[in-house]
Amino acid sequence: MADYYTWIKAVHLISMVVVVGGMLLNGFLFRNVAPTSPDAARTYAAALAFNRYFVGSALALVWIAGLTLMWLLGAHKDGWFITKFVIVFILSGIHGAQTGRLAKLSRSPGETPSGLMVNSGPITLVLVALAICLVAIKPF
Ligand code: HEM
């Protein structure tokens, strides 16, 4: 396959590392920032900016590169791809929910994040592991 395919895959993987790292960090903050901490609002505001500009741009790149790989590979009808697509769609939704929650918490840090947000780190890890197994093994 053409050489540029592997370069697009490299872009996909580098930006994916940023997205996963950012999502794990968000989960860590929801679990560990004490609502009474004097630094809570500032920490959430810094994380919000980081997510909006840095992680958000990386997520866009993951999608652009991923859809390009799908198109070049002709993978849109493959079972592994369709299953992975559902998983990465859910992951993108969780990232959106994390960013929304960071925005709320930066305004009112005393609020309690939902169970989904508190557990969003481990949930992200499980979904990413599934997505990686699907692309690496392509079991169906
Ligand atoms: C956080 C989300 C994602 C993770 C963790 C992830 C992970 C990976 C990994 C590890 C590979 C390399 C597989 C290999 O070298 O064999 C890969 C390739 C690929 N990804 Fe993703 N990806 C994500 C999002 C997406 C999205 C949004 C799409 C498209 C809608 C996509 C489509 C693809 C395709 C088509 C390949 C090429 C598979 C191949 O060349 O065999 N990925 N992804």
Given CA atoms 97, 101, 102, 107 in this order, what sign does their dihedral have?
positive
Task: Give burial (CB, 10 Å; 0-12/13-18/19+) of 41.
Answer: middle
12 lines ligand 1 (CB under 6 A): yes
102 lines ligand 1 (CB under 6 A): no
The pair of structure tokens assigned to 80 is 């592994």
Q: Where do the domains of the chain lie?
A: 3-137
19 lines ligand 1 (CB under 6 A): yes
Atom of ligand 1 nearest to the CA of 85: 30
pLDDT of 39 above 80: yes
pLDDT in tens, 87-139: 999 999 999 999 999 999 999 999 999 999 999 999 999 999 999 999 999 99
| CA nearest to 40, candidates 88, 136, 127, 108 | 108
Residue with CA closest to ligand 1 atom 42 = 66
Q: What number of other Cβ atoms are within 10 A of residue 6's Cβ?
A: 9
CA of 82 from ligand 1 middle (Å) equals: 11
- How many whole angstroms separate alpha carbon 35 and alpha carbon 41? 9
Residue with CA closest to ligand 1 atom 15 = 136
pLDDT in tens, 46-95: 999 999 999 999 999 999 999 999 999 999 999 999 999 999 999 999 99
CB 84 within 8 A of CB 34: no
90 lines ligand 1 (CB under 6 A): no
